[in-house]
A = this chain, B = another copy of it.
Amino acid sequence: MPRRTESLSRERIVDAAVELLDAAGEGGLTFRALTDRLATGPGAIYWHVANKGELLAAATDAVVSPALAADPAGAPGDRLRAVALALFDAIDAHPWVAAQLASGPWQTTDPRLLESVGQQVRALGVPRGRWFTVASVLVQYIVGAAAQNAANARVVGPGGDRAAILGEMARGWEDLDPDAYPFTRAVAGQMRAHDDREQFLAGIDLALAGVAALHPPRS
Q: Which residues of A contact B (CB under 8 A)?
A: 98-99, 102-108, 111, 114-115, 118-119, 121-122, 128-129, 131-137, 140-141, 143-145, 147-148, 150-152, 154-155, 169, 173, 176, 180-184, 186-187, 190-191, 194, 199, 202-203, 205-214
Contacts and interface: CB of A to CB of B under 8 A. Distances in A.
Query: When A and B form their complex, which 8 residue pairs have the shortest distance between CB atoms, in order from nearest?
Result: A144-B144, A210-B210, A118-B183, A132-B190, A137-B203, A209-B210, A206-B210, A213-B213
B148 A102 contact: yes
B148 A106 contact: yes
A150 to B, nearest CB: 8
Contacts of A211: 206, 210
Contact of A103 (B99, B111, B128, B135): B99
A105 B144 contact: no
30 contacts: A102-B148, A103-B103, A103-B151, A104-B151, A105-B148, A105-B154, A106-B148, A111-B181, A115-B180, A115-B184, A119-B182, A131-B190, A132-B187, A132-B190, A133-B199, A133-B202, A134-B202, A135-B183, A136-B194, A136-B199, A137-B145, A140-B145, A141-B141, A141-B145, A144-B145, A144-B148, A206-B214, A208-B210, A209-B210, A210-B213
Nearest to A145: B140
Given A140-B144, A148-B106, A135 B187 contact: yes
Contacts of A152: 105, 107
Nearest to A134: B206
Contacts of A183: 114-115, 118-119, 121-122, 131, 135
A107 B169 contact: yes
A98 to B, nearest CB: 6
A77 to B, nearest CB: 13
Contacts of A144: 102, 140-141, 143-145, 147-148
Given A118-B187, A184-B118, A140 B102 contact: no
